[in-house]
Amino acid sequence: MEASGQDPAAPGAIAAVVVNYNGVEHLAPCLEALFAQTTPPGEVIVVDNASSDGSRELVRERFPRARLVELGENRGPCPARNRGLAEARTGWVLLLDNDAVLAPEALERLSAAAAANPDSALIQPRSVHAAEPDRVHYDGAGFHYVGLFSLRNAGVRVAQAEGSGVVEVDGAVSVALLARREAVLEAGGFDGRYFILFEDLDLSYRLRVAGLRILSVEDAIVFHRGGTPGISFRQGGYPARRAWLHSRNRWIFLLKNYRASTLLAALPGLAAYEIAWLAFTLASGTLLEHVEGKIAFLQSLGDVLDAREAVQKRRRLADRELLVGGPLTVTPQLAANGASAAALRLLDRILVAWWGIGRRFSG
């Protein structure tokens, strides 16, 4: 379970950064899988967000060759990932959540894709559910104009999933990402104002609008375990904290990244989505958090507008070249219920229909 001892500065070497907060139940399988790779990382860095569950002690005792970087407080995964990128000494850095377990050949296949595509900025493996490994969880995404990922192959059986080998995608999900260190840092890294949720959408969009490429490697597999406590809906129900973050962060993303003409062109679709999501939060008992999230967004307007200026200066592609009208990918709770599933299908049709008109007026 030790690191390879490979020189992290050697050509082709990849550092691995594991971001952890109170993930002691996931951390050992994550690190064991890293050290068992057919092409092991040149360096393993664990960035810990002030855990109190014994995570740091586990790293010191069981994984002494991993370098532990301890942060003084939990400010979410974004600053931790940025710190890991800054600490790494390699051109490519694998960013892993603590509940991600790589298949043995995953890093080798990601590394081969990086060598063949040195101009790409992010390369993600295919994420499958650890409890149901024949079903896709995350496999890259498109950018839905209402400010969401439109996920590829979401929930599809692996045998029926579209795509093979290395495919170009627009969005990458942050469970596991191979990042070209220089490109990501030049783009500003992960935006800490999100805390968590939408931060990978934001980074992906900023990279793509600047003309950089994102890839998905379909035969590089990562098993996604439990999700983030208090945030993930995989534990059952829709968490109040997630409702607040969704309400605030989605609008931070929209205002920060879209041109003004795009926001105007998307307005009818945005309004339809807002009405539908308001109804969902009412039904799920998270209406108060939804409203509080909107208030928090308004309070952050000054910072968001400053960040917007930086995004627009790096822009090389128009929004209309990236944004799609569907399919709409939402929380499974909404899609599972008969009445809400029917309403979701109707909303999806409305959003697709409007973008057929609105796209031509976007920036």
The CA distance from 221 to 224, in Å, is 10
Residue 130 forms part of a structural domain: no
Measured between alpha carbons, how far is 176 from 170 in angstroms, rounded to an integer? 16
**Domain assignment of residue 48, yes or no:** no
Q: Residue 175 corresponds to which tokens in the numbers above? A: 């469970």
Which residue type is seen at 158?
Answer: V
Name the domain count of the chain. Answer: 1
- Between strands 323-324 and 141-144, the pairing is parallel
Residue 269 lies in a domain: yes
Rounded distance, CA 157 to CA 353, Å? 28
Q: In this structure, is residue 242 part of a structural domain?
A: yes
Q: Which domain holds residue 309?
A: 233-361
SS3 41: coil
In a domain? residue 316 = yes
Domain assignment present for residue 1? The answer is no
Domain presence at residue 260: yes
pLDDT at residue number 238: 80
Per-residue model confidence as pLDDT tens for the chain (363 residues): 344 445 665 656 899 999 999 999 999 999 999 999 999 999 999 999 999 999 999 999 999 999 999 999 999 999 999 999 999 999 999 999 999 999 999 999 999 999 999 999 999 999 999 999 999 999 999 999 999 999 999 999 999 999 999 999 999 999 999 999 999 999 999 999 999 999 999 999 999 999 999 999 999 999 999 766 655 555 556 899 999 999 999 999 999 999 999 999 999 999 999 999 999 999 889 999 999 999 999 999 999 999 999 999 999 999 999 999 999 988 765 566 677 788 899 999 999 999 999 999 999
DSSP 52-64: -SSHHHHHHHH-T
Q: Is residue 133 part of a domain?
A: no
Q: Specify the pLDDT at position 132.
A: 94
Q: How many CA atoms lie within 13 A of 359 on its CB side?
A: 16
